[in-house]
Structures are given as C-alpha cells and as structure tokens.
Amino acid sequence: MRLLLDTNIFLWCILDDIKLSKKVRDMILDADENYVSSASIWEVAIKKSIGKLDNDDDIENLADAISKSGFLELPITAKHAAAVHGLAYFHRDPFDRLLIAQAITEPLIFLTADKQLQEYSHLVKVV
C-alpha cells in the first residue's frame, strides 16, 4: 500500500499529536511507502505567513522532517498540476485540489481528515 498524507496528517505525525488515531498510525506503519507532497510544505509556509497556522517549527525543519520521519517527498510535476484541471469543484482549497490530483495521477491512497474530499475518488480515505 502506498499512501499520500494530507498536510494535517503529516503535521500530526511529526508533532505526535493526539488527533492521530492508533488506526491511522498503524496504517502509516504498515504502508509500503508514505509520501508527503512538497505542496504540503508550501501550504504550511503560506498559512503561517498569513497567520492561519500557528506552528513553532520553521519551514526548513518541516521540510527536513519528511525524510527524518521516514517519509518520501512527492515533488509537484507538470502532470500533477495539469490534473487539477480535470477535477470537479467539490472543494475550493487549491492545496487540497493539488494533493488530490497527485493521488489520482500516481496513484496513491490519500489519507485525510477532510470528509469533503472523499467525493473526488475511491483513493481518498477519510480517517
């Protein structure tokens, strides 16, 4: 099983947040590969700069946390960006839309806490 972690799931993992259930931790541990998109780092950087996210880690530490956590970075490709065009407008957040496009293109199971995203694909698993 190959997983793509939503930004919140990734943050909960590296912060050892109680919001990350045992079931989700087990899914991540049992996966063959766990990916974190570079779009997630971009999302955190923007949300921190506009005051929508209060996270004490600096962005460089957050980027380093991908590999330190044993996760793999998923770069944004032109194919991923183009796939956003084909998505219905169930969700307006551009970062979530890009993550969904990456999951569908690769394909990867996308772990998220956002129920709205499950309308996009059978690859979206709400946890």
Q: Give yes or no for residue 55 having a pLDDT over 70.
A: no
| Residue 32 DSSP symbol | S
The helix/strand/coil state of 116 is helix
CATH number reported for the structural domain that contains residue 16 in this entry: 3.40.50.1010
Domain containing 77 equals 2-126
Report the pLDDT averaged over residues 45-73. Answer: 85
Q: How many residues does the chain have?
A: 127
pLDDT band at 52; cut points 50, 70, 90 = confident
Q: Give yes or no for residue 123 having a pLDDT over 70.
A: yes
| Residue-wise pLDDT tens digits, 92-104 | 999 999 999 999 9
| Residue-wise pLDDT tens digits, 25-43 | 999 999 999 999 999 999 9
Listed as own residue / partner, the contacts of 90-96 with beta carbons closer than 8 Å and 24 or more positions apart are 90/116, 90/117, 90/119, 90/120, 91/116, 91/117, 91/120, 95/7, 95/39, 95/40, 95/42, 95/43, 96/6
Q: Give yes or no for residue 58 having a pLDDT over 80.
A: no
pLDDT band at 57; cut points 50, 70, 90 = low
